[in-house]
Chain A
Amino acid sequence: MDATASAGGRSLGASLLRTKESAILLALLIMMVVIGVIAPRFISGTNLFQVSRQVAFVAIVALGELFVILTGGIDLSVGSIMGWSGVAAAWAMSLGVNPALAVLFGILAGVAMGAINGSLIAFVKVPPFIATLGMLQFAHGNVLGLTKGWPITAIPKSFLWVAQGDFLFVPVPVWIGLVIAVIAHVVLTYTAFGRRTYAIGGNEQATFLSGIDVDRIKFALYMISSACAAVSGIILVSRFSSAQPDTGTGWELDAIAAAVIGGTSLAGGSGSVLGVVIGACIMAVLRNGLVLMRVSPYWHISIIGVVIVLAAVLDVKTKRT
Chain B
Amino acid sequence: MAALLDMAGITKTFPGVRALDRVSFSVEQGEVVGLLGENGAGKSTLMKVLAGVYHADAGQVVWEGKPVAFRTIQEAQQAGISLIFQELNNCPNLKPVDNLFLGRELYRKSGFLDYPAMRRKARELFDHLGVQIDLGVEVRRFSTAVQQMIEIGKALLTNVKLLVMDEPTSSLSDKETDRLFRVIRELKARGTSVVFISHKLNEVFQITDRIVVLRDGQNAGGFESSKGSIDQLISLMVGRDLGSFATEHRTSAPGEELLRVEGLSGGMVHDVSFSLRKGEILGVAGLIGSGRTEMARLLLGADRRQGGRILIEGREARIRNPSEAVAAGIGFVPEDRKVQALVLPMSVRENLTMAIHGLVKRFRAFLSRRKENAVTDEFVKALRIKVAGREQAVKNLSGGNQQKVVIAKWLATKPRILVLDEPTRGIDVAAKAEVHRIVAELADRGVAILLISSELPEILALSDRVLVMHEGRAKAVLDRGQASQETIMGAALASVAR
Name the residue in A203, A209, A211 with the highest tally of chain B Cβ atoms < 10 Å from its Cβ: A211
B325-340 vs A: 1/0 string, CB under 8 Å?
1110000101000011
Contact A206 B340, beta carbon cutoff 8 Å: yes
Contact of B323 among A192, A205, A211, A269 (CB under 8 A): A211
> Quick one: closest A residue to B297, CB to CB?
A209
Instruction: Please tell me if B342 contacts chain A, counting CB pairs below 8 Å.
Output: yes
Instruction: Please tell me if B207 contacts chain A, counting CB pairs below 8 Å.
Output: no
Flag the segment in B86-94, B349-357, B441-449, B479-487 that touches A: B349-357
Chain A residues within CB distance 8 Å of chain B: 190-193, 195-196, 198-199, 202-203, 205-213, 269-270
Contact A270 B322, beta carbon cutoff 8 Å: no
Contact B367 A191, beta carbon cutoff 8 Å: yes
Contact B367 A270, beta carbon cutoff 8 Å: no
Question: Which residues of B299-347 are within 8 A (CB) of A?
Answer: 300, 302, 321-323, 325-327, 332, 334, 339-346
Indicate whether A193 sits within 8 Å of B345 (C-beta atoms), given known contacts A209-B300, A211-B326: no
> Quick one: closest B residue to A191, CB to CB?
B365
Contact A211 B322, beta carbon cutoff 8 Å: yes
Q: Which residues of B contact A212 (CB under 8 A)?
A: 322-323, 354-355, 357
Instruction: Please tell me if B361 contacts chain A, counting CB pairs below 8 Å.
Output: yes
> Quick one: closest A residue to B328, CB to CB?
A211
Indicate whether A213 sits within 8 Å of B321 (C-beta atoms), given known contacts A195-B357, A196-B357: yes
**Closest 9 pairs between A and B when the two form their complex, measured CB to CB:** A211-B326, A202-B343, A192-B357, A211-B323, A203-B343, A210-B354, A210-B355, A211-B322, A191-B365
Contact A211 B325, beta carbon cutoff 8 Å: yes
Q: Could you give 15 example pairs across A and B, Cβ below 8 Å?
A: A190-B367, A192-B366, A192-B367, A196-B357, A203-B343, A209-B302, A209-B332, A209-B341, A210-B322, A210-B354, A210-B355, A211-B355, A212-B322, A269-B343, A270-B345
In the bound complex, what is the Cα–Cα distance between A198 and B340 (angstroms)?
16
Closest CB-CB distance, A265 to chain B, in whole Å? 10
Contact of A209 among B334, B361, B367 (CB under 8 A): B334
Closest CB-CB distance, A11 to chain B, in whole Å? 16
Instruction: Please tell me if B409 contacts chain A, counting CB pairs below 8 Å.
Output: yes
Q: Which residues of A contact B366 (CB under 8 A)?
A: 190-192
Q: Which residues of A contact B300 (CB under 8 A)?
A: 209
In the bound complex, what is the Cα–Cα distance between A207 and B409 (angstroms)?
12
Q: Which residues of A contact B358 (CB under 8 A)?
A: 192
Q: Which residues of A contact B345 (CB under 8 A)?
A: 202, 269-270
Closest CB-CB distance, A238 to chain B, in whole Å? 32
Name the residue in B300, B334, B354, B358 with the highest tally of chain A Cβ atoms < 10 Å from its Cβ: B354
Contact B367 A202, beta carbon cutoff 8 Å: no
In the bound complex, what is the Cα–Cα distance between A203 and B339 (angstroms)?
7
Closest CB-CB distance, A254 to chain B, in whole Å? 28
In the bound complex, what is the Cα–Cα distance between A196 and B360 (angstroms)?
14
Taking chain A's interface residues, is the majority helix, strand, or loop, or is none over half, making it mixed? helix
Q: Which residues of B contact A202 (CB under 8 A)?
A: 343-346
Name the residue in A199, A213, A269 with the highest tally of chain B Cβ atoms < 10 Å from its Cβ: A199
Contact of A211 among B327, B334, B343, B361 (CB under 8 A): B327
Q: Which residues of B contact A209 (CB under 8 A)?
A: 300, 302, 322, 332, 334, 340-341
Closest CB-CB distance, B399 to chain A, in whole Å? 16
In the bound complex, what is the Cα–Cα distance between A190 and B360 (angstroms)?
11
In the bound complex, what is the Cα–Cα distance between A196 and B334 (angstroms)?
19
Count, chain B residues at interface, CB 8 A? 29
Contact B350 A195, beta carbon cutoff 8 Å: yes
In the bound complex, what is the Cα–Cα distance between A192 and B323 (angstroms)?
15
Closest CB-CB distance, B327 to chain A, in whole Å? 7
Given contacts A192-B361, A206-B339, 13 further A-B contacts (CB under 8 A): A191-B367, A192-B358, A192-B365, A198-B343, A202-B343, A203-B342, A206-B341, A206-B342, A209-B332, A211-B326, A212-B322, A212-B355, A212-B357
Closest CB-CB distance, A172 to chain B, in whole Å? 28
Q: Which residues of B contact A199 (CB under 8 A)?
A: 343, 346, 350, 354
In the bound complex, what is the Cα–Cα distance between A270 and B393 (angstroms)?
13
Q: Which residues of A contact B357 (CB under 8 A)?
A: 192, 195-196, 212
Closest CB-CB distance, A261 to chain B, in whole Å? 21
Q: Which residues of B contact A195 (CB under 8 A)?
A: 350, 357, 367
In the bound complex, what is the Cα–Cα distance between A193 and B326 (angstroms)?
18
Question: Which residues of B348-389 are within 8 A (CB) of A?
Answer: 350, 354-355, 357-358, 361, 365-367
In the bound complex, what is the Cα–Cα distance between A196 and B346 (angstroms)?
11
In the bound complex, what is the Cα–Cα distance between A190 and B369 (angstroms)?
9
In the bound complex, what is the Cα–Cα distance between A191 and B323 (angstroms)?
18
Closest CB-CB distance, B154 to chain A, in whole Å? 27
In the bound complex, what is the Cα–Cα distance between A212 and B351 (angstroms)?
13
Contact A208 B342, beta carbon cutoff 8 Å: no
Contact of A198 among B341, B346, B355 (CB under 8 A): B346
Contact A208 B346, beta carbon cutoff 8 Å: no
Contact B365 A203, beta carbon cutoff 8 Å: no
Closest CB-CB distance, B157 to chain A, in whole Å? 33
Q: Which residues of A contact B334 (CB under 8 A)?
A: 209
Closest CB-CB distance, B1 to chain A, in whole Å? 44
B8-35 vs A: 1/0 string, CB under 8 Å?
0000000000000000000000000000
Contact of A206 among B327, B343, B365 (CB under 8 A): B343
In the bound complex, what is the Cα–Cα distance between A208 and B323 (angstroms)?
8
> Quick one: closest A residue to B323, CB to CB?
A211
Closest CB-CB distance, A123 to chain B, in whole Å? 12
Question: Which residues of B73-113 are within 8 A (CB) of A?
Answer: none
In the bound complex, what is the Cα–Cα distance between A203 and B346 (angstroms)?
10
Closest CB-CB distance, A198 to chain B, in whole Å? 7
Contact B327 A207, beta carbon cutoff 8 Å: no
Q: Which residues of B contact A192 (CB under 8 A)?
A: 357-358, 361, 365-367
Closest CB-CB distance, A110 to chain B, in whole Å? 24
Closest CB-CB distance, A125 to chain B, in whole Å? 13
B247-260 vs A: 1/0 string, CB under 8 Å?
00000000000000
Closest CB-CB distance, B111 to chain A, in whole Å? 34
In the bound complex, what is the Cα–Cα distance between A196 and B354 (angstroms)?
8
Contact B327 A208, beta carbon cutoff 8 Å: no
> Quick one: closest A residue to B326, CB to CB?
A211
Contact A210 B367, beta carbon cutoff 8 Å: no
In the bound complex, what is the Cα–Cα distance between A193 and B365 (angstroms)?
8
> Quick one: closest B residue to A208, CB to CB?
B322
Q: Which residues of A contact B339 (CB under 8 A)?
A: 203, 205-206
Closest CB-CB distance, A18 to chain B, in whole Å? 14
In the bound complex, what is the Cα–Cα distance between A205 and B302 (angstroms)?
10
Q: Which residues of B contact A211 (CB under 8 A)?
A: 322-323, 325-327, 355, 413
Closest CB-CB distance, B354 to chain A, in whole Å? 4
Q: Which residues of A contact B326 (CB under 8 A)?
A: 210-211
In the bound complex, what is the Cα–Cα distance between A66 and B291 (angstroms)?
40
Q: Which residues of B contact A193 (CB under 8 A)?
A: 365
> Quick one: closest B residue to A265, CB to CB?
B345
Contact B354 A213, beta carbon cutoff 8 Å: no
In the bound complex, what is the Cα–Cα distance between A213 and B323 (angstroms)?
6
In the bound complex, what is the Cα–Cα distance between A199 and B413 (angstroms)?
18
In the bound complex, what is the Cα–Cα distance between A193 and B357 (angstroms)?
9
Closest CB-CB distance, B143 to chain A, in whole Å? 18
> Quick one: closest A residue to B337, CB to CB?
A206
In the bound complex, what is the Cα–Cα distance between A208 and B354 (angstroms)?
10
Q: Which residues of B contact A190 (CB under 8 A)?
A: 366-367
In the bound complex, what is the Cα–Cα distance between A123 and B366 (angstroms)?
27
In the bound complex, what is the Cα–Cα distance between A207 and B332 (angstroms)?
12
Closest CB-CB distance, B361 to chain A, in whole Å? 6
